[in-house]
Structure 1
Amino acid sequence: MRKALLTLSVLFATSYVNAATLHEPDAEFITNSKQVGISQANWDHGQSAKLTMQNAYKFTYSQEMENGPFIHDLSKATGFDLSKAQGYDADGPHSLDIIIRDRLNQESLIILKNGKLVDEFYWNGMNKDKTHLQMSITKSFTSMTLAQLVDEGKVDMQDPIVKYLPELKSAPGYAGATVQQVADMRSGIKINFTPGKIWDERMTNVQEWNGVNKYPELKSILDFGATLNKRSDFNHGQAYDYQCVNTEMLGMIVARVTGKSLAENMEQRLWKKVGFEHNARIQSNSHGEAVGSGGLNATGRDVALMMDVLVNGGKNRQGEQILPTSFIDNLLAGNDEVRSAWKNGAESKLAPDAWYKDQIRVFNIEGHKFLAFVGIHGQVTVGEPTTGIVIHMNGAQDEMQATRTVAMTFLNVIPTLLSEVNKQK
């Protein structure tokens, strides 16, 4: 018996050490920030992005995810001259260094090809070892964590979401939706935006994104999800409608079927396996519910390495299969359902030949077919499987998803970079 108890205690201690570690907000940093008018209540406002995108996790609870023993060697940069490539703004052509740094308010740019570093650029105090809030790029990481559970047979994407989260049975918005529809942002939920915001503040309150929760009756993101109604103009599955709470429900499925938090799963299934160079933080509430839709704080190089797994057929550069090939094949192929739903969404006006599947966009622009992780302040990661090129940019744009900056990025800068990088030997 004594030996058995000793063994059990060792196992418990091991699992605790390996689990993502919960950290409190950085009280000293918050105090200093108040001196320049930035508080927990307003840290995420766009006008402060140049400071807060690099320090976001300090304003909230966060969970630290440790990397693993394998660290991918990006090798020495082969070099890329941004000043010799050209992009466009409303006032005409400019070199890409001006477009990316000055016009798009990017703080870093990392370019890979076939898993090796082409070049990297950093501005506004950023460097290769510094984390940056990735905002909705986090959604893709949550989905890729879920994809592994699907491959293991623990989740069926065609099941009703209420099979895994019965708390949602009372929510008209979710009661008839499948997991796949939720993953594709085709759930059919209706969000009533808080005045002046493009989200319902009850969600961010439950997540303690801006300090203490002002809605104590909502103790979990599931409580918020259970309040949501259904759209009256489209049925489940018919329209692409980008809502963060859909991703949060995917994160709750991950936690429910494994008995471990989303952060723990992401750490074990991605952070310790891909070859990342650094630990990361994912913001959460004080109960350890990670913000799976927008809380990832990671280095640009590590985010680029995640996309490199996708363009490398789901394998890291050590040859280990991280993501199932079927997940990537299905992303790139799309289907009639996601194509039709995309046409009923706002983004189709910018990019008609595209779709959104499993929390990842696929674009066909200027002869380039590429996968994209996208964040609301200009965080962008793209990967082109046919060339092996990956591009990551960490944005700190003061206006969220502005038409001008989105159009410049996806219709001009990304296709130009893909073409110019591919020309190099």
Structure 2
Amino acid sequence: MDGTNLDYVPAGVDMNNWKLPENLRWSFQHMADFLPTAAISRGEGPVAQLPAALRDLDSVMVAPAVPGGAPVSVGAIMNTTETDGWMLMHRGTVLTEQYFGQMGAESPHLLMSMSKSLIGAVAGALCDSGVLDVDAHLTDYLPELAEAGYAGATVRQLLDMRSGIDFSENYLDPSSGMRKMEQAIGWSALKAPGPTGMYPYLRTLVRKTAHGGVFEYRSCETDMLGWVCEAAAKSPMATLMSELVWGKLGVESDASMGIDQFGTGIFDGGINATMRDMARFGSLFLNEGLSPSGEQVLSKEWIDQTFAGAPDSRDAFADSPVDNLMPGGMYRNQMWFPYPGDDVVLCLGIHGQMVYINRPAEVVAVKLSSWPIPQDPARLFPTLRAFDAIAAALLVEVNSASPVPVAPAAAS
């Protein structure tokens, strides 16, 4: 697949080299082997089974992105975007589930910033129960922030990434806020004196504009959100995640979360989980917060306001200082809406992680990847179009009672 040795096992992986392109496929599936993690328990409940009716969705054709371009198959897109695994469910039934190289159904995979959507779900569950108030100031839960840059910001502004904090997400700039935070939490070697640990680092951030302005994607917002959740609930995030979300999904496996030197979770991108379990998580957003195991994880009201956004969410997104390449879209409750409408919502992570939810088509899809670079529109948007194409074909099939023109897949 895409010229990469899928069975390559690097030697001596550590914080200094785990993000090298040649090491990513292995390191994304073995984070606990070289960095500290905390378990997110699945609990003792039954597994919510995922029925399967496998089909050859690789043959679905995807229209070109620009006029005059050539159509390409879903399979070709998956084969040229460093896919570690992908699956798609329609109405709760698995239509395809594929793994590449050493990855399998039981393999945990680093979710990168898809972790943010899980933290957003914990915040939603705490809001549903009255433990957390989206309109409250952060200092209501963390008085120690009174002199910090986040003073005056609200929980809602963290959920939608609309604080005024000065933080650069530039992954390729070694001096960016993102890279400094990685050094502080022990995800890369310390290159200059600075704070040690997630929370000490967050206290150093300063405000550059008024809180509540435009959307700007900043991982530190999720880390601060996780801290606020812990303070409000008086419990560590791994426990909250297990009790409020993960343990109610009917998942097959425990998840895990990277932690810093003090045991603090890396909320913005440190969660590891299997592909099948992330499909179960995505199902929440098709079913008004109801999990595959039949438990109400998030209220219908939380799901509804996630999809509705605020009156100015799309304007705030359009006015972002960085072009997010999703015209008409928005960011709400740690989720991406790539289009002007609310049909499709995404969980996204760098290096090619995606959960795709299409409500009209009743589709949930997951793709886990190891792109050699953190961000790449030439890989991201073909994947999105591939899932759109399958969803559109399935919607036509349902409405016309005519099957998608692809052959059944052989059972594995």
TM-score range, shorter chain: 0.7 to 0.9
User: Aligned AA for 2:299?
Assistant: P
Find 1:374's aligned residue among 348, 365, 378: 348
Deviation at 1:196, TM superposition (A): 3.0
Instruction: Provide the rounded CA distance (Å) in 1 between the counterparts of 2:65 and 2:347.
Output: 23
Is structure 2 residue 152 aligned with structure 1 residue 176? Answer: yes
Question: 2:377 corresponds to which residue?
Answer: 403
Find 1:256's aligned residue among 227, 231, 234: 231
Q: Deviations over 1:389-415 (max 9, x none)?
A: 1011001101111122223233x2232
Is structure 2 residue 263 aligned with structure 1 residue 288? Answer: yes
Tell me, which stretches of 5 or more residues in structure 1 are unaligned? 1-31
Deviation at 1:198, TM superposition (A): 4.8
CA contact (8 A) 1:206 1:215 kept: no
Instruction: Provide the rounded CA distance (Å) in 2 between the counterparts of 1:158 and 1:89.
Output: 40
Deviation at 1:141, TM superposition (A): 0.3
- TM-score, structure 2 normalization: 0.86
Deviation at 1:159, TM superposition (A): 1.1
Question: 1:142 corresponds to which residue?
Answer: 119
Question: 1:19 corresponds to which residue?
Answer: none
Instruction: Provide the rounded CA distance (Å) in 2 between the counterparts of 1:88 and 1:82.
Output: 16
Deviation at 1:205, TM superposition (A): 2.6
- 74-83 vs 119-128, which deviates more? 74-83
- The 3 A distance-change label for structure 1 pair 282 and 228 is same
Is structure 2 residue 358 aligned with structure 1 residue 384? Answer: yes
CA contact (8 A) 1:88 1:99 kept: no
Is structure 2 residue 191 aligned with structure 1 residue 191? Answer: no
Is structure 2 residue 317 aligned with structure 1 residue 364? Answer: no
RMSD (Å) for aligned C-alpha atoms: 2.4
Question: 1:208 corresponds to which residue?
Answer: 186
Find 1:308's aligned residue among 273, 283, 304: 283
CA contact (8 A) 2:184 2:198 kept: yes
Deviation at 1:326, TM superposition (A): 1.1
- The 3 A distance-change label for structure 1 pair 368 and 96 is farther
Question: 1:417 corresponds to which residue?
Answer: 390
- TM-score, structure 1 normalization: 0.84
Alignment of 1:78-93 (within 5 A): 78-86=54-62, 88=64, 92-93=70-71
Instruction: Provide the rounded CA distance (Å) in 2 between the counterparts of 1:349 and 1:359.
Output: 15
Question: 2:143 corresponds to which residue?
Answer: 166
> Residue 386 of structure 1: SS of its match in structure 2?
coil
Deviation at 1:418, TM superposition (A): 1.5
Aligned residues: 385
Q: Deviations over 1:315-348 (max 9, x none)?
A: 0133321111111100111122321210112665
CA contact (8 A) 2:40 2:254 kept: yes
Q: Deviations over 1:341-394 (max 9, x none)?
A: 1011266552212110111112337x8721110001110001122232101100
> Residue 112 of structure 1: SS of its match in structure 2?
strand
Q: Deviations over 1:126-149 (max 9, x none)?
A: 221111111000000011011111
Percentage of matched positions with identical amino acids = 25
Is structure 2 residue 126 aligned with structure 1 residue 153? Answer: no
Instruction: Provide the rounded CA distance (Å) in 2 between the counterparts of 1:319 and 1:263.
Output: 22
> Residue 162 of structure 1: SS of its match in structure 2?
helix
Tell me, which stretches of 5 or more residues in structure 2 are unaligned? 1-8, 399-412
